């Protein structure tokens, strides 16, 4: 956690913050990061949540396994630097920046507009609560609130044109709005006039868009937040650090999404059944039957929520349970497609190469297949790229290859950029 000065998420980089390269941050271990942050007024204890936060600020992922030598600033006059014993020869040695042997040498230009340095830090207490949320989740909450507000107001105004079992005017309007949006349609409340029926038609289509597109994104985001906890639970007896967790999530991401969604769905089914038994006084079988017909949006109508308390519970439970079931089936379908794709990749990588394959992989027809040509051929065979992708990339390459030498250099990039500026 952070002490001394609480920075909000997305805080601007201080003016005296050092500008290290991406490779420096990748080679930085926990101790080096802790010392570096302390020298600039931030105390860091190293929890998993804060590590994820600082990774976003640095713009790169820290790797504890690849760290060898701690990275420390050269300025020994900075605060708290005297508290640590540092090898003077190591700290004063100039770090070499790693570069690819194939990368062109050129001057690196830093754009000052990329990072705003002189803006003051807003105080955390002045920041709205929703600013810390994921943008997709924040947008879903706002649109859902707008939909329910407008829908409740409209159906409340035409409450006398809706027939059925009623409890409270406002509560019935919210309940009817949720039942319409999720297409459950119990039939306990039914529009019986032209105006109310037209309103129901308008809100059912807009509600389906909201549920199918926006709420699914929010559910996907919330499921991803729980994947790390599930990985830790599956590997309690193993020493799984942040690096191993990220690797496991990358390999079996959809599988863990299915696990999380299934567990949440089971909890929702049990919660709905228990509530119907306790408050609606239904037998267990009828309660489970009502839950299943609701979650699957069948909505036969013979069993529904009739009390005020039941409808208040249904406003939240129907929305979450129907979206959860839809997400579960979506993840299962994606998992099946991913499994078939992996089987295809495995078959492509394990089958023997023939002379016909070499001829097809020889793009420049010089009788020799290089590594780049072989990789492109394998990716095409796996279905990850096609000829359209390659032709588009080749067109861009030909535009950048200003001297038509078949290779890209710094001079080619400079000439291409100069020509494009002149043409503008």
Distance of CA 177 to the CA centre of its chain: 29
pTM of the model: 0.53
**Percentage of residues of the chain with pLDDT beyond 90:** 18
Interval 168-218: pLDDT, tens: 999 999 999 999 988 888 888 999 999 999 999 999 998 888 877 666 666
- Under the banding of pLDDT at 50, 70 and 90, the label for residue 285 is very high
Question: Hey, which CATH number is domain 135-334, 1.10.287.70, 3.10.350.10, 2.40.50.140, 3.40.50.880?
Answer: 1.10.287.70
Provide the 3-class DSSP secondary structure of residue 203.
helix
The rounded distance, in Å, linking the Cα atoms of 420 and 364 is: 29
Supply the DSSP symbol for 296.
Answer: T
Strand 162-164, strand 189-191: pairing = antiparallel
Interval 211-246: pLDDT, tens: 776 666 666 655 655 555 555 554 545 555 555 555
For residue 123, pLDDT over 70 is answered with: no
Provide the 3-class DSSP secondary structure of residue 240.
coil
The rounded distance, in Å, linking the Cα atoms of 179 and 315 is: 8
- Domain residue limits, the chain: 22-129, 135-334, 355-423
Task: Assign 3-class secondary structure to 109-158.
Answer: CCCHHHCCCCCCCCCHHHCCHHHHCCHHHHHHHHHHHHHHHHHHHHHHHC
Provide the 3-class DSSP secondary structure of residue 108.
coil
- Helix, strand, coil percent values for the chain (each to nearest 5): 60, 0, 35
Residue 362 phi, psi dihedral angles, 5° rounding: -80, 90
Provide the 3-class DSSP secondary structure of residue 315.
helix
At 355 the pLDDT is 80
């Amino acid at each position: 956690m952070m002490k001394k000065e609480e920075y909000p998420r997305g805080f601007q980089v201080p003016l005296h913050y050092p500008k290290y390269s991406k490779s420096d941050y990748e080679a930085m271990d926990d101790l080096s990061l802790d010392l570096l942050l302390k020298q600039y007024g931030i105390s860091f204890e190293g929890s998993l949540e804060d590590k994820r936060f600082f990774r976003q600020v640095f713009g790169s992922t820290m790797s504890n396994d690849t760290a060898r030598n701690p990275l420390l600033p050269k300025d020994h006059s900075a605060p708290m630097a005297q508290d640590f014993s540092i090898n003077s020869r190591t700290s004063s040695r100039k770090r070499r920046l790693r570069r690819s042997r194939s990368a062109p040498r050129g001057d690196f230009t830093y754009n000052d507009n990329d990072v705003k340095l002189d803006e003051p830090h807003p105080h955390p207490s002045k920041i709205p609560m929703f600013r810390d949320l994921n943008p997709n989740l924040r947008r879903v909450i706002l649109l859902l609130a707008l939909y329910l507000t407008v829908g409740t107001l409209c159906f409340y105004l035409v409450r006398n044109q809706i027939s059925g079992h009623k409890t409270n005017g406002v509560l019935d309007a919210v309940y009817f709005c949720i039942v319409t949006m999720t297409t459950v349609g119990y039939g306990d409340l039914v529009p019986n006039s032209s105006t109310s029926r037209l309103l129901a038609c308008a809100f059912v289509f807009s509600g389906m868009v909201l549920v199918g597109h926006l709420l699914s994104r929010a559910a996907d985001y919330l499921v991803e937040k729980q994947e790390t906890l599930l990985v830790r639970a599956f590997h309690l007896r193993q020493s799984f650090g942040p690096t191993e967790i990220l690797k496991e999530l990358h390999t079996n991401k959809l599988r863990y999404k299915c696990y999380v969604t299934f567990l949440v769905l089971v909890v929702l089914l049990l919660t709905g059944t228990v509530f119907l038994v306790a408050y609606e006084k239904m037998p267990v079988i009828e309660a489970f039957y009502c839950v299943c017909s609701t979650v699957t949006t069948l909505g036969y109508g013979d069993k529904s929520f009739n009390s005020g308390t039941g409808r208040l519970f249904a406003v939240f439970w129907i929305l979450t349970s129907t979206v959860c079931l839809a997400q579960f089936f979506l993840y299962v379908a994606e998992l099946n497609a991913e499994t078939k794709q992996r089987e295809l990749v495995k078959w492509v990588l394990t089958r023997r190469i023939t002379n016909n394959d070499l001829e097809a992989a020889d793009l420049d027809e010089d009788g020799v297949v290089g590594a780049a040509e072989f990789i492109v051929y394998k990716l095409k065979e796996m279905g990850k790229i096609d000829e359209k992708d390659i032709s588009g990339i080749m067109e861009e390459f030909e535009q950048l290859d200003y001297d038509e030498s078949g290779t890209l250099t710094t001079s080619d990039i400079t000439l291409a950029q100069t020509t494009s500026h002149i043409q503008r």
